[in-house]
Amino acid sequence: MKPTGIAGTSALAALLALVAPSCESPVEDERIAAQGPELPNVEEGPEHRYGQDCMACHGGYGPGPEFVMAGTVFATPDGDVPVQGAVVVLTDAVGQTFRSTSARGEDNSGSTNCAGNFFIQASDFEPQYPVHVEVECPLPGGGTRRVVMGSRINREGGCGFCHTRGPASSTSPGQIYCLTADSQDIYTVPGGCEGGPSPSGSR
């Protein structure tokens, strides 16, 4: 018996309804939920959620604009002070080198902003993994300190996925930083920044 048009359409709708939920990922949902809510008075934008796992929402599954790589650079291994103006340099498996300042994305100068955040969009660069990473940290007194990541990145574009806040532990290399803990006072919290810590360091 051949289904009528309505019955056929209903069957198709029912089938799609069954298939659609299978696109959801409880693992990714959990990853997003783990980031928690936005901080009060910080709107969604380049300065929000500093130090978090950016790609939870910006990796293509979540609600944010899609990035290929994003993260936050801090002054020291266990401090809260972000570094503004750091340049992230990527070299991928086929030898392409990309400086984050080459980024063309909207609202993105490429170097880390006042919250220490940087992000790279697919329109800027699509690396072939594995990727080697270096960070050029501007020193407040002038000059640059080059920080080289000890291992390659094999697949994860979200720095905060591995580099959780605080110092290194048995499960994380700790936050990305420019200087050792002894250098705590060299950098100061940028003023007039919506995201990042407050200048008093209380956030």
Partner 1 sequence: MTRLRLLSAGLAFALPLVLVGACVSESDRAPTTFDCPPAADWPVVSAVLEHDCGTIECHGAPSRPLRIYGRNGTRASKDSAVGVEATTDEELAHNRDSVCGLEPELMTAVAAGDAEIEALTVVRKPRLFEAHKGGRVWVEDSHGLACFASWLGGTVDVGECETQLQLP
Q: Which of 195, 203, 200, 36 is nearest to 116 (CA)?
A: 195
Query: Considering beta carbons, is residue 129 or 146 the nearer one to partner 1?
Result: 129
Which residue in the set 10, 97, 151, 180 belongs to the binding site for partner 1 (CB under 8 A)? Answer: 151
Q: Which of 52, 43, 180, 38 is nearest to 116 (CA)?
A: 52
DSSP secondary structure, 154-193, as one string: -S--BHHHHS-SSS--SS---SEESS-GGGTTTS-PPSS-
| # residues contacting partner 1 (CB under 8 A) | 21
Query: Considering beta carbons, is residue 10 or 96 the nearer one to partner 1?
Result: 96
Going by DSSP bridges, is the β-strand pair 144-148/132-138 parallel, antiparallel, or unpaired? Answer: antiparallel
Query: Considering beta carbons, is residue 91 or 101 the nearer one to partner 1?
Result: 91
In the window 156-195, what residues touch partner 1 (CB under 8 A)? 156, 161-162, 167-174
Query: Considering beta carbons, is residue 135 or 189 the nearer one to partner 1?
Result: 135
Query: Considering beta carbons, is residue 18 or 148 the nearer one to partner 1?
Result: 148
The 8-class DSSP code of residue 124 comes to T
CB atoms within 10 A of CB 196: 26
- 22 touches partner 1 (CB under 8 A): no
Contact 178, 146 (CB under 8 A): no
Which residue in the set 35, 91, 101, 184 belongs to the binding site for partner 1 (CB under 8 A)? Answer: 91
Q: Which of 72, 70, 35 is nearest to 55 (CA)?
A: 70
Contact 125, 70 (CB under 8 A): no
In the window 129-148, what residues touch partner 1 (CB under 8 A)? 129-130, 132
Query: Considering beta carbons, is residue 158 or 190 the nearer one to partner 1?
Result: 158
- 85 touches partner 1 (CB under 8 A): no
- 154 touches partner 1 (CB under 8 A): yes
- Contact set with partner 1 (CB under 8 A): 91, 129-130, 132, 150-156, 161-162, 167-174
